[in-house]
Amino acid sequence: MAQQLESYIQEHEGRFLEDLKGWLRIPSISTLPEHAGDIRRAAEYAAGQLRGMGFANVGLIATKGHPLVYGEWLNAPGKPTLLVYGHYDVQPVDPIELWETPPFEPTIRGDSLYARGACDDKGQTMLVFKAMESLITVNGALPVNVRVLLEGEEEAGGESIAAYVQEHSDRLGCDAVFICDTGMPSKDIPVLIYGLRGITYTEVEVRGPKRDLHSGEFGGIAPNPLHALALIIASLKDAGGHIHIPGLYDRVRPPTGAEQAFWRDDPLGIAETLREEMGTGYVGENEYPPLERLWARPTLEVHGISGGFVGEGAKTVIPAAAKAKISLRLPPDLRSEEVFALFERRVKELAPAGVEVSVTNIHGGEGVMVSPDSAPMRAAAAALKETYGKEPALTREGGSIPIAALFDEVLRVPVVMMGFGLPDDNLHSPNEKYSLAQFFRGIRTVASFLQKLA
């Protein structure tokens, strides 16, 4: 049976890739209203895949935002039920000029497939589909019951799926959740994720003069909202990475001894891999090991500042207003809403004379910690060992999958986070890619995982 499965996968690698490429050609950018039609097309595409495998009750679930995609295969009585989560929306593509090939024309270069969403999360979701297709075709059935629930707002705050899970948890009965939206430190180092950070994403608006002013006419007496933002941001986080928001660090959970040792020794060289990827030295709280800073410390980043003039040449404007997008990553136990309140209060305190400041909570999500000792986590570990030839490491990730925390809180079942992304996959950047080897090994791993879960 294992041999038949392997043969099927080998034989159909080309079509598996074509099915992924078809999905990648749809520019389902969830944050840009002009792509609403593409979002729907991408959702329908996923539903088509599920129907093709013989899933039942397949369809789009309307929400206040972008639709969810649902489908179920519940023909394994007595076996556990797995809820598979993924997302079909992707990040924006700017700066577009840095893409070597167009983001929505999937292109194989070297050992990778390049496209926006190639990894995050169309590639990772498609490999789960292809593992299931292979099992169903070869064996006539899946070894466990499966519900699939995809969202189209992961890159836009994920509010709709959060509302759905909270309101309709009865429709999502399961014994475990599987999220294939994480990565590995390198293609030789399988990992299982047991912790993620949460996030608070904000926009700070500073309003100064009642209109744009000329710096020759008013420079010396006028408040400058861009300068005020610089003062605020510089006071929020110093050059040593310390965030100056009273109360923020109060609830940071102390690491266990094993975590401290792992982070200090970094036996997998994860931090070094990331360092090479970013091409500079480590910046931030140097009193903590890099892995602790990435996985277990709150961090604050500015993502963009608008207002005034950034075109070619020179314009001597003092803008009437300016905005900054600022987010915090939060280790588990720091609640997003509470951190937003601390942040908002601090930003308002820091506003210099002459300006008014308002702070908007764009979106938030909680961090999560799961136990590695559940049966589903053990099945995933065994599957990784089988395909990668070594025990997976237990690691955290610094990113946020708020829905993981929500599944944990609402469904109260183990959440398995096993993904096949690599640090150089350029998530959220130009030239996003997915390793072909990881895609195909991911299919084999997930097929094995489902079998071991049975």
Does position 64 bind a copy of itself by CB under 8 A?
no
Q: Which is nearer to a copy of itself, 6 or 203 (CB)?
A: 203
Question: Is residue 284 a contact point for a copy of itself (CB under 8 A)?
Answer: yes
Binding mask 408-427 for a copy of itself (x = CB under 8 A): ---------------x--xx
Shortest Cβ 302–a copy of itself spacing (Å) = 4
| Size of site (CB under 8 A) for a copy of itself | 99
307 near a copy of itself, judged by CB under 8 A: yes
Q: What is the CA radius of gyration of the chain?
A: 23
Site for a copy of itself in 331-390 (CB under 8 A): 352-355, 362-363
Beta carbons within 8 Å of 110's beta carbon, 6+ residues apart: none
Task: State in angstroms the smallest separation of the CB of 68 from a copy of itself.
Answer: 19
| Complete DSSP assignment for 122-186 | HHHHHHHHHHHHHHHHHHSS-SSEEEEEEES-GGGT-HHHHHHHHH-GGGG--SEEEE---B-SB
Q: Does the annotation mark 154 as catalytic?
A: yes
Asked if residue 394 binds a copy of itself (CB under 8 A), the reply is no
For position 106 contacting a copy of itself by CB under 8 A, the verdict is no
**Which residue among 40, 187, 325, 348 contacts a copy of itself (CB under 8 A)?**
325
Q: Which of residues 198-227 bind a copy of itself (CB under 8 A)?
A: 199, 201, 208-224, 226-227
Pair of tokens at residue 388: 């990668």
Place of tokens 């791993």: 445
Among 276, 279, 275, 302, smallest CA distance to 290 is for 275
Q: What distance separates the 2 farthest-apart alpha carbons in the chain?
A: 81
* Residue (139 or 235) nearer to a copy of itself, CB: 235
Residue 110 binds a copy of itself (CB under 8 A):
no
Position among 256, 310, 389, 412 found at the interface with a copy of itself (CB under 8 A): 310
Question: Where in 135-194 is the site for a copy of itself (CB under 8 A)?
Answer: 155-157, 183
One residue of 278, 349, 391, 409 binding a copy of itself per CB under 8 A: 278
Task: Give 246-252's long-range contacts (Cβ < 8 A, gap of 24+).
Answer: 246/342, 246/346, 247/342, 248/298, 248/328, 248/334, 248/339, 248/342, 249/298, 251/333, 251/334, 252/296, 252/297, 252/298, 252/331, 252/333, 252/334
Q: Is 425 a catalytic residue?
A: no
* Sequence-ordered list of residues with C-beta below 8 angstroms from that of 306, at least 6 positions apart, any chain: 322, 323, 324
Site for a copy of itself in 229-258 (CB under 8 A): 229-231, 233-235, 237-239, 241
Minimum CB–partner distance for residue 350 and a copy of itself (Å) = 10
The catalytic residue among 89, 120, 133, 153 is: 89
Min dist CB 159 to a copy of itself, Å, is: 12
One of 61, 137, 282, 436 touching a copy of itself (CB under 8 A): 282
Selected binder of a copy of itself within 303, 333, 337, 437 (CB under 8 A): 303
> Does 77 interact with a copy of itself (rule: CB under 8 A)?
no
For residue 299, state whether it binds a copy of itself (rule: CB under 8 A).
Answer: yes
The SS3 of residue 240 is coil
Would you state the structure tokens that stand for residue 295, as one six-digit string? Answer: 């996985």
Is the torsion defined by CA of 265, 271, 272, 275 positive or negative? negative
3-state secondary structure of 449: helix
We find the least distance from the C-beta atom of residue 330 to a copy of itself, in angstroms, to be 11
452 binds a copy of itself (CB under 8 A): no
3-state secondary structure of 61: strand
Interacting positions 30-49 with a copy of itself (CB under 8 A): 31-33
Of positions 36, 428, 436, 454, contacts a copy of itself by CB under 8 A: 428
Q: Are 29 and 35 in contact (CB under 8 A)?
A: yes
Cβ nearer to a copy of itself, comparing 135 with 320: 320
Catalytic residue among 120, 133, 151, 154: 154
Distance CA 201, CA 238 (A): 19
Q: Are 393 and 258 in contact (CB under 8 A)?
A: no
Q: Is 119 in the site for a copy of itself (CB under 8 A)?
A: no
130 binds a copy of itself (CB under 8 A): no
Beta-strand (E) ranges in 13-129? 56-61, 68-73, 81-87, 107-109, 112-114
Other CB atoms within a 10 A radius of the CB of residue 220 amount to 7
Residue 39 vs 450, nearer CB to a copy of itself = 39
Q: Any idea which residue has 């075709």 for tokens?
A: 137
Strands (DSSP E) contained in 17-95 are 56-61, 68-73, 81-87
Catalytic positions, written as ranges: 89, 154
